[in-house]
Amino acid sequence: MTASGSEPHVPVLLGEVLDHLAPANGEILIDGTFGNGGYTRAILAVDGARVVAIDRDPAAISAGGILRDQFADRLTLVAGRFSGLDACAQSAGFNQVDGVVLDVGVSSMQIDQAGRGFSFRADGPLDMRMEQAGASAADVVNQLPAKDLARIFSVLGEERRANAIARAIAEDRIAEPFTGTLQLAGLVERVVGRREAHRIHPATRTFQALRIFVNRELEELAAALAAAERCLREGGRLVVVAFHSLEDRIVKRFFADRTQTIAGGSRHRPQIDIPDPTFLPLTKRPVTPSEAEAQANPRARSARLRAGRRTASPARAIDLRQLGLPRLPDLESIGSAS
């Protein structure tokens, strides 16, 4: 059963996550993206393992009540962002933990609920807010200048027709503001053209970009990696599953920086001293789903798992530029209509 009591939800790369996370009796582990509770439930299947499960979506925490009742002595549910997972662990009474798992992106529970506004497959309010607070996707689409919308679609969605979509939005919203998912999806389809049978829906990249921007997902991910580094004990494991190329790039660069042991240098440039590594690599290259899993769950196709084991070296400050976070319009400047 899921946290909400419905049919079982099998999270992506579950076996591979457990192999690298390696939960054991008596250990404390953080599930930074509780969602439907799939990873948490699998960890709790290990006798004596305890979980601090975090989610910024209040609906996910509420639905997790059944699982919390079942494992009352071993599961702590926390409403919050995984960017502050170290503080969430401390609030639960744990200064250090043995493992952290992050499943980055939107959950199937959110996508499947039309009222949340994440999907273009069913009509619903153009929302996309995981915390159900702050500026919505409709606020972004209706208020930002076309050039800013184009940058969001291009950078976060890798949409080639970003400028044309942004111009069309700016023209159409004069007569009627955007309020619904199918309203926006229809505009994108009009600009990009109907998809062929083997291609993704033409609105996929635009919706993806809006979701990432509205929830500041890239900044949250970078902060979560730093928070995991701060609270993992020596020998603790960090396992991250990413689906978007920009997210995976951030994770890849983080581990590359944190596991680096040899400084660059040549006869023309002096060797540069680097800090001791804070992680040892557990994955030399990203772990991807099997063909069978990809066929059974199309959402798993783009998943990439990377993992590392914490050393005794002190945590370091995060460098957002080094991780490749793009410069984007200021979300805080957008007023919320809700």
3-state secondary structure of 100: strand
pLDDT, residue 198, reads: 46
pLDDT, residue 195, reads: 61
pLDDT, residue 121, reads: 73
Contact 152, 328 (CB under 8 A): yes
- As a whole number of angstroms, the distance between CA 233 and CA 240 comes to 17
107 pLDDT above the threshold of 60: no
Residues with Cβ within 8 Å of 157's Cβ and at least 6 positions away in sequence, in order, are: 205, 206, 207, 208, 209, 210, 212
Count of other CB atoms within 10 angstroms of residue 206: 30
**pLDDT average, residue stretch 145-164:** 96
Q: What is the pTM of this model?
A: 0.88
The DSSP secondary structure of 139-188, one letter per residue, reads HHHHHS-HHHHHHHHHHHH--TTHHHHHHHHHHHHHHS---BHHHHHHHH
- As a whole number of angstroms, the distance between CA 156 and CA 247 comes to 10
Domain with CATH 1.10.150.170 in the chain: 110-215+328-333
Report the residue count for the chain: 338
19 pLDDT above the threshold of 60: yes
Domain with CATH 3.40.50.150 in the chain: 14-108+217-310
- As a whole number of angstroms, the distance between CA 287 and CA 270 comes to 36
Q: For the segment 257-279, what is each residue's pLDDT rounded down to a tens digit?
A: 999 886 655 555 566 678 899 99
Q: Which CATH superfamily is domain 14-108+217-310 in?
A: Vaccinia Virus protein VP39 (3.40.50.150)
Q: For the segment 36-63, what is each residue's pLDDT rounded down to a tens digit?
A: 899 999 999 999 999 999 999 888 899 9
pLDDT, residue 268, reads: 59
pLDDT, residue 205, reads: 92
Q: How confident is the model at residue 117 (pLDDT cuts 50, 70, 90)?
A: low
Mean pLDDT over all residues of the chain?
89
pLDDT, residue 222, reads: 96
Count of other CB atoms within 10 angstroms of residue 311: 17
Is the CATH number 3.40.190.10 carried by domain 110-215+328-333? no
3-state secondary structure of 210: helix
Sheet order of strands, 50-55 included: 75-79, 50-55, 28-31, 97-103, 232-242, 304-310, 279-281
pLDDT, residue 168, reads: 98
88 pLDDT above the threshold of 60: yes
Q: For the segment 201-255, what is each residue's pLDDT rounded down to a tens digit?
A: 899 899 999 999 999 999 999 999 999 999 999 999 999 999 989 999 999 999 9
Q: Find, among 62, 178, 169, the residue nearest to 124 by Cα.
A: 178
197 pLDDT above the threshold of 50: no
**Tokens (6 digits) for 44:** 């709790």
